[in-house]
Amino acid sequence: MFVDFLRLFKVMRCKLPIGFAQIGKSFRNEISPRQGLIRMREFYQVEIEVFFNPKKANILSKPEPLMSYVLRLQPLGSDRILEITC
């Protein structure tokens, strides 16, 4: 994400604040006596970065409206919808 910052900054028309998010798989080695010496665990990881000018931080809108924001998520393979508050 930090390597692509300059390219993404130009795509976003060189204006701050900018938020970037990425989702990817991560792997972790674990010692397991059942399936041999080492087994590989796989999980998803989400990273969100927000870049802003600290000298202009007071100009930004306050986060109060976001505190009551509700995310509606549907798990993969499920028909029900989960509502999660921020």
Name every residue whose Cβ is closer than 8 Å to that of residue 26 and which is 6 or more positions away in sequence: 42, 43, 44, 45
Number of domains in the chain: 1
Does the structure show a pLDDT above 80 at 38?
A: no
| Domain membership of residue 78 as a residue range | 5-85
Each residue's pLDDT tens digit, 67-86:
677 888 888 888 999 888 76
36 CB burial (10 A radius; 0-12, 13-18, 19+)? exposed
Each residue's pLDDT tens digit, 4-24:
788 888 887 888 888 888 889
In angstroms, the CA 86 to CA 70 distance is 6
* Stretch 51-57: mean pLDDT: 79
In angstroms, the CA 45 to CA 25 distance is 6
